[in-house]
Amino acid sequence: MKNKLGVYYGFLADSDEVNWVECLHRAKAAHMDILEMSISKLQTLPMPERENIRALARELGLGITMATGFPPHGDLSSEDPAIRSNGVRFMKEQMETARFFGARVIGGMLVGTGKNFPAGVQDMRERAVENALGPLRVLAQMAGDQGIALCMEAINRFESAYLNTAEEAVQVAKAVDSPHLGVLLDSFHMNIEEVSMGDAIRRTGKHLKHFHACENNRMMPGRAQVDWDEIFGALKDVGYTGALITEALAKPYGTVAGRLNIWRRLSEDPDGEMAQAVVFLKGKGDAYGL
């Protein structure tokens, strides 16, 4: 399989105080190529610790991708220009952190903020997306200058009021019209929102820059109901060359429980299941020529 495989740090964490050294070693032991990390969490660390994490990732030969999301005071979809400007500054700092760690992909909810559903939001969706276009154009240019792909994730309706489907994310990508702003699709969210995951991938086409692979219930791939042949066939059809990150979650802990609605243990053997997912995904990738 030519496409790189990775794991989201949240599958390996036991608390909000992430042991990044342990996460890197466990990802490597499972034969992952990438660890997807949280920019905001990394930014809380002192510089010597950041340097140690960067050095270890290089020593282990692991790539790094980054996950992000905007705080309410930096919401790019806000009616307040000052808040949108805060968002641009926020992401500029996030890009600098990503660059420090050698990450070339940043993905997450870029329009709106998580679980923010004001009264009447269903009538404000188009306006909110329109508000975000100007800041996203600025950020796309910044991303290009930093050699980074900025990826908008299509998020299910229970977590976001905006960009719920691949089609909605693609519309924004087309409006911004930058090779540095693309779409992140996630099989968990797609399972909720899309009529056909394969067709959604094909419609996204060249705009697909990053992919999250997990089951319909956020287990590791190959353990539940997602049709991986449909997904891999579509990824082949669009010539996808990016990474596949297993954004599974093993159990509730800290803020991840309420933030991502993880209330019960989903994995009894996280390291074993992660290693099995690598074998499973590589088998599919080889079968479909990815």
Active-site positions?
A: 153, 247
Look at the alpha carbons of 80, 143, 101, 284 in this order and tell me if their dihedral is positive or negative. positive
CA 93/CA 74 separation, integer angstroms: 12
Indicate the SS3 state at residue 193. Answer: helix
Q: How far is CA 173 from CA 42, 67, 244, in A?
A: 28, 18, 20
Distance of CA 129 to the CA centre of its chain: 19
Burial of 200 (0-12, 13-18, 19+ CB in 10 A): buried
Burial of 17 (0-12, 13-18, 19+ CB in 10 A): exposed
CA 91/CA 240 separation, integer angstroms: 26
Burial of 106 (0-12, 13-18, 19+ CB in 10 A): buried
| Structure-token match 């243990």, residue found | 265
| Structure-token match 């697909």, residue found | 208
Instruction: State the CB neighbour count (10 A cutoff) for residue 258.
Output: 11
| Structure-token match 């540095």, residue found | 180
* Pair of tokens at residue 193: 């929102």
Q: What backbone torsions phi and psi does residue 78 show, to the nearest 5 degrees?
A: -65, 150
